[in-house]
Structure 1
Amino acid sequence: MTFGALASVPGGALHASDSAAFFDDIPLVLTASRLAQSPMLAPAPVTLIDREMIEASGFTEIHDLLRLVPGFQVADWPGGSPTVANHGIGDAYDRRIKVMIDGRTVNNPIWGDTQWDNLTIRIDDIERIEVVRSANGGAYGANAFQGVVNIITRSPMTEDGYSVISRFGVDGFYDHGVRVNGPADSPVAWRLSASTRSATTFESFVRSNGENELQEGFSREALNLQLVSQINPQDRLSLNFGVSQGVDTRGYPEMGTRLRNFQLDPVQDGDIRNQTVHAAWTRSYSTTSELSLQYFYQGQQARRAWEIDVRGLGEGRDGTIHADRDIDVSAHNLEAQLSGQILPSVQALIGAGVRHERVRSAAYFDTDAALTATYWQTFGNLTWQATDALALNLGGTYEHHDYSGKLFSPRLALNLAVSPDAALRVSAGKAYRAPSLIESHGLETLREDGAVVQIGYNAAQPVDPEEMRFFEIGLVARPMKGLAVDVRVFREAYSGYLDSQSCRLPTAAVPVPSKERCSDVGVFPPADWSAANALTYQSAKTKRFLNLGSFVAKGGEYTVDWRKQGWGRVVFSQAYITLNASDDLVDRDIELSAPQATTSLLFIKELPERWRASLGYYHNDDMYWLNQGDRVPNRDRIDLRLAKRFGPPGAENEFALVMQNLGEIYTEFHEGRYRHEPLIYASLRLVW
């Protein structure tokens, strides 16, 4: 068997609909090596969530789609954006997974996480999502650590006309969107999409200890404009402008018998705004050779402020403290990539990029000045078709980051065609996660009359990047028409695990055991710290960042995807994971942070008269979300969607009824604190 020639893709930015190859029985994947290639030739495991799965799932939020990926864990919580992890070690900030939209990175510089609810696109704008389920530093460098998620939007070159969708549900849920496409014969293909949505994600309740719990609701408006022009047979130019803005309502209501939480973090509104600009130029020299240049900008402004009543909390304290979590973030990226066939059996790619980040937040860095950081990287990939059946892929990224110095992430993969319809993959490599800005420079403070009265995250000592060495064996097969199988086993060895650890400042009002004192690791409070001004003794606690040791993740996962025209489709995935800590690991909860088994099932059934039913089932064994999270027990979630198409044959007009999380309320992210409510909504889509 011959794997066939490759087509190059600039940073994974090619739209899935731009090539007829995507409609073949074996779709191309773009994200594994920055080259468009068959999954049988890809040097890493890739899960494809296509448009049919997106619609059938009934999900209205992008992060929820990752519940369909084997080995991934997804959770929402009321203190911040939803979070995603792969093979455990997940917490409130999913900073170990690189997330891109059409090849542009959207991770936030402060934590390195993804603000899933603030993205400038909506679920209706997505053509497909490609998820690399392993470290992919060889292609994308530091922070492509536990995987890469590339969200590929629908190309305006493949759409025309207008569409409107409205979703209404319980508890005030709504999600409305409109899409306007330029005429099909226009020299510039364009699409404008706009949406507005609102939901109450968590309701407060009084816990058994009398303490009230966090509540959360949000509203968002998003606007996105895409323009694509095929200037001539060789040159293509694309532009994208996006903005998302809205309000988060978070905090503790005044209820229950313990008011401390209400006093420190009452319910208040926070304004948030995101902007993106993405420009890309591609010149094609042949079917296997092209040059691309792209620039993208990411900006965020968050405003959240409130007053803390300190009357009665200490002698002589009869006023209020002004608290805020204002944030200003900007990032500029420039990237160039050249690919081509340098020999009849050798395809090569080389590229370079630079990124400049600027962040301002007095609350998180205890300064009004802006913090800046720059990193650059060079990357390359070489694919050699050694024989008709054997391909060798060598990739690597060399980079320099202000937070971590110089790093090199290599990857080697062998792909062997064991039959015309099946290929075996063996790959190994190394990847890094560079410390985020808060892990390297953070000093989270609360001040009263200029004096520090509380310290949160404290990056007072240098930390090193996390490192992972991985080895995996995978099999990708299509044994019969309509059936695809993806199986793999893996071993991932983590070292230098970087996380926060609680400690107490040495000026605490009561004696502190030496093992809990921050001074033991050289962390000292600011000169203006006054224990007498502390809100409570608890405020003498802080969180330092440390490299906490090493551990090994081992396991296996598989996906079976079967479809039959006119009948329906079944996508079934399972993953099995174990984490084994080394003797030097400080936090033993890490061993519990991955569920031993996870299952996802998406069942799609075609019914008469253009009806379609789909059922989603998602199971996680016991697991432990780290830091702000906690243990969550075995949980099962069932979603049901019933839809009917109407109008002329082939029309996409549709009415649907969706019921998510059928059955009893289940806990998510923290067993005793956060309860995920069921959601029932109806939707109507009109296309003309």
Structure 2
Amino acid sequence: MQDPYTSRYPRTRGLASHAGPLVLLGLLALDARAEWGDPDPFFSEIPMVLTASRLAQSPLDAPAPVTVIDREMIVASGFNEIHDLLRLAPGFLVADHPDGPPTVATHGLGDAHARRIKVMVDGRTVNSPLWGNVIWDNLPLRVDDVERIEVVRGPNGAAYGVNAFQGVVNIITRAPSTESGRAFVVRTGKNGFRDYGVRLNGAGGSAFDWRLSASRRELTTFEPHFRERLGDWHSSESLTRNTAHFSAVLQLSAAEELGLQVGVSEGDSKRGAQAYLDYPPHTEEDRALHLQFGWRRHIDAESVLSVQYFHQGERAGGSWPVIQAQGTTTASFPTSRASEARRHDLELQYDTRLGRRLTGMLGIGLRSEHARSLHLFGTTRWLDSTHGQVFGSLTWNPLDPLKIDLGGTLEHHDYSGRLFSPRLAFNYALDEDSALRLSTGTAYRAPSLMESRAFQTDREGDTIRRIGFRVFDPLQSERMRFVDLGYVAQLRSFGLGFDARVFREYYRRFIDDKSCVFGECPRPEPADYVPIDPGKKSFYFLNVDDFRMTGAEFTLDWRKPGWGRAVLSQAFIRIDHGEPYSDRDIPNSAPHATTSLLLIKDFPGRWQASLGYYHNGLYYWMNGGDIVPRTDRFDLRVARRFGPPGSDNEVSLTALSLKGRYADFHEDKFRHEPDLYLGVRIGW
């Protein structure tokens, strides 16, 4: 039988597919000691990263590949939403869809509740306790609050435990000391887009630094889309969000400091379509609260003790009638989709030097999660889970150019039992500006609360009329074993940074969902189940296939003072799926090639222009999504700074998706709206 995926959209290999590996090999052969032109001041010191091993270190020494999306790239991209910034990391896939929050995946395997990437804000996990995904459009901070994003491009369970499975995203906010005074930011444009923000900062120069930012944004991401093949309309989406974020640092002494962050977000989402009898036009309410408190003390010049507490709360609400056509009549009953989740997280970490060539890190973490929802779990009781972990690493320098990193996390979770995630990495410095990395290890993804306890229902009184997701049998954790070979260089003579890697990952016990209809599911139906539509599918979770992922990716980052900057990222992925297929979408969930290119050009008179290009080959979003065709997206931003030298005052014009609407998440259903807006930032 012919594969409908390849017959409908034959996969072709363009010039980029043939030339990419040759370019990669050629760049790997560059002599890092070559001299050309004047050194770039930016590379006078190699920037540090924090996320690869929980320790500040050079990317040349990091045991895992790290991409840094810095403040200059954030501003030049023109993106207003934090999740969009991940388009700048090689291999990342980003989608909006109007039936829920945005979704982000890396190297495929993504769906409406993508949950194989750990996302943190200043080192604290913000994945939802319900699905394990991230409610990107309701994070209690804005793009203006972000200093940089560190992206670990690969499994990092050795540092962060379960669910740091395919990667780690650490959103690092701007320190209060980086700004002073007050600022007002406004962006306004088509599709009803409005974004107003204010930033207030302490006077600076004292032991207490603080900043308060607040904003309100209104936007339409999807207009109703008419699908000619079926003759119906699909969902639209418009959002309103009010966000506030407070950050403060108190320097108790030269060696000791306290930090506090509080973030809140609330707003409405208008979603649905007349064609969906169980998802008609309606309004959903979303609320989020993040509270983070940290204490840090330098015991001596090479020893640091830190303690952090984090609280995350989220609430969602909304109710609308579920309608079912029954011949010439219709049946209707109200349904509520309310849910509430909380997380408490406490962590202690100690870093020290154990000898002239040996350093160590040791930490413990405790987490409790609580959730309740009659709609999602069939009960109004709170469901509770606990999670404890011990993590640590040793870094040994047996030879000056060689670093050996041995790290791991031992943990116990209510949904997964005891797990150990180890990693062994070798970093060999070719010279002071370049290094090779070889790492191998194991990572796990534990089932989420929904995958462990789901009983998603629509009820009419005490009668169950429809079942969505549910659980029949306990699930095992997904497991991945990986091997990664990388090359990192900061070629200061060229003004060039280069990061390349090839990798192979072996997946076992992949968690997927399957559908069944009334009377044909693996277990008997509940006695109080009277389906409004017996032919309506419900879904259950199970461990399915083992498969292998092979890939290569690189990033080139070139800059020249007074001219500008160019950042090119490229990824090539192949998923080898065993026969027989349990889900044909698995091998097709990763595009063969993805590309991102950000060009930043400085002009006289404090003008700057930037062009973003984002390409993906054909691929599938799984479980709720569908085919996304080959896409080439272009963004353009033109800005002019004004005011005192060094100020951030500017006026800008930004066009996102110059080619217009494009298919997103599901080609038949959804067309993402382009944006055109004017932005002004004034500080005083």
Would you call these one fold, judging by a TM-score over 0.5? yes
Give the match's secondary structure for 1:369.
strand
Deviations 1:379-413 (A, max 9, x none): 00111111110000011000001001000000000
Equivalent of residue 63 in structure 1, options 78, 83, 87: 83
Give the match's secondary structure for 2:226.
coil
Q: Residue in 2 aligned with 1:233?
A: 254
Q: Residue in 2 aligned with 1:423?
A: 435
Q: 1:415·1:425 contact (CA, 8 Å) conserved in 2?
A: yes
Equivalent of residue 504 in structure 1, options 491, 495, 517: 517
Specify whether residues 22 and 106 from structure 1 end up closer, same or farther in structure 2 by C-alpha distance, changes over 3 A only: farther
Q: What amino acid sits opposite 1:84 in the alignment?
A: V
| In 1, Cα distance between equivalents of 2:99 and 2:365 | 34
Give the match's secondary structure for 1:67.
helix
Q: Residue in 2 aligned with 1:375?
A: 387
Q: What amino acid sits opposite 1:102 in the alignment?
A: D
Q: Residue in 1 aligned with 2:114?
A: 94
Q: 1:413·1:426 contact (CA, 8 Å) conserved in 2?
A: yes
Give the match's secondary structure for 2:144.
helix
Specify whether residues 287 and 465 from structure 1 end up closer, same or farther in structure 2 by C-alpha distance, changes over 3 A only: same
Unaligned runs of 5+ in 1: 1-20, 254-258, 507-516
Unaligned runs of 5+ in 2: 1-40
Give the match's secondary structure for 2:666.
coil
Deviations 1:189-226 (A, max 9, x none): 11000010010111112211112201111100011111
Equivalent of residue 434 in structure 1, options 412, 429, 446: 446
Q: Residue in 2 aligned with 1:266?
A: 280
Specify whether residues 488 and 378 from structure 1 end up closer, same or farther in structure 2 by C-alpha distance, changes over 3 A only: same
Give the match's secondary structure for 2:399.
coil
Deviations 1:558-592 (A, max 9, x none): 00000011100000010000000123651121100
Q: Residue in 1 aligned with 2:301?
A: 287
Q: 1:393·1:414 contact (CA, 8 Å) conserved in 2?
A: yes
Q: Residue in 1 aligned with 2:521?
A: 518
Equivalent of residue 650 in structure 1, options 646, 649, 656: 646
Equivalent of residue 660 in structure 1, options 653, 656, 660: 656
Equivalent of residue 163 in structure 2, options 136, 143, 153: 143
| In 2, Cα distance between equivalents of 1:44 and 1:247 | 39
Calculate the TM-score normalised by the size of structure 2: 0.92
Q: What amino acid sits opposite 2:334 in the alignment?
A: H
Deviations 1:131-169 (A, max 9, x none): 000000000000000100000000012321111110001
Deviations 1:288-322 (A, max 9, x none): 21000010000011111112345x6379x876312
Q: What amino acid sits opposite 2:57 in the alignment?
A: Q
- Deviation, 1:676, is 1.3
Equivalent of residue 676 in structure 1, options 672, 679, 682: 672
Q: Residue in 2 aligned with 1:528?
A: 528
Q: Residue in 1 aligned with 2:70?
A: 50
Give the match's secondary structure for 2:234.
coil
Q: 2:267·2:287 contact (CA, 8 Å) conserved in 1?
A: yes
- Deviation, 1:351, is 0.2
Specify whether residues 613 and 22 from structure 1 end up closer, same or farther in structure 2 by C-alpha distance, changes over 3 A only: closer
- Deviation, 1:265, is 1.4
Q: Residue in 2 aligned with 1:565?
A: 561
Query: Does residue 462 of the first structure (1) align with residue 474 of the second (2)?
Result: yes
Query: Does residue 608 of the first structure (1) align with residue 620 of the second (2)?
Result: no
- Deviation, 1:22, is 10
Q: What amino acid sits opposite 2:352 in the alignment?
A: G
Q: What amino acid sits opposite 2:261 in the alignment?
A: N
Deviations 1:337-372 (A, max 9, x none): 001001111110000001101101000101111111
Give the match's secondary structure for 1:231.
strand
Give the match's secondary structure for 2:269.
strand
Q: What amino acid sits opposite 2:535 in the alignment?
A: Q
- Deviation, 1:187, is 2.6
Give the match's secondary structure for 1:66.
helix
Deviations 1:247-280 (A, max 9, x none): 0111113xxxxx4x1x321111111110111000
Deviations 1:171-202 (A, max 9, x none): 11011111100011333111000010010111
Give the match's secondary structure for 2:524.
coil
- Deviation, 1:606, is 0.3
Q: What amino acid sits opposite 1:569 in the alignment?
A: R
Q: Residue in 2 aligned with 1:163?
A: 183
Give the match's secondary structure for 2:643.
coil
Equivalent of residue 366 in structure 1, options 363, 378, 393: 378
Give the match's secondary structure for 1:594.
coil
| In 2, Cα distance between equivalents of 1:652 and 1:205 | 39
| In 2, Cα distance between equivalents of 1:502 and 1:89 | 18
Q: Residue in 2 aligned with 1:133?
A: 153
Q: What amino acid sits opposite 1:526 in the alignment?
A: P
Q: Residue in 2 aligned with 1:182?
A: 202
Worse-superposed segment, 615-624 or 497-506: 497-506
Q: 1:96·1:147 contact (CA, 8 Å) conserved in 2?
A: yes
Q: 2:225·2:670 contact (CA, 8 Å) conserved in 1?
A: no
Give the match's secondary structure for 1:385.
strand
Number of residues paired by the alignment?
642
Worse-superposed segment, 606-615 or 278-287: 278-287
Q: 2:517·2:534 contact (CA, 8 Å) conserved in 1?
A: no
Q: 1:549·1:584 contact (CA, 8 Å) conserved in 2?
A: no
| In 2, Cα distance between equivalents of 1:636 and 1:421 | 34
Q: Residue in 2 aligned with 1:509?
A: none
Q: Residue in 2 aligned with 1:387?
A: 399
Equivalent of residue 620 in structure 1, options 616, 622, 630: 616
- Deviation, 1:650, is 2.0
Query: Does residue 537 of the first structure (1) align with residue 554 of the second (2)?
Result: no
Query: Residues 74-89 of structure 1 correspond to what in structure 2 (within 5 A)?
Result: 74-89=94-109
Deviations 1:478-510 (A, max 9, x none): 22342100010000110100011111231xxxx
Q: 1:238·1:280 contact (CA, 8 Å) conserved in 2?
A: yes
TM-align CA RMSD: 1.5
Give the match's secondary structure for 1:308.
strand
Equivalent of residue 490 in structure 1, options 503, 514, 518: 503
Q: What amino acid sits opposite 2:257 in the alignment?
A: R
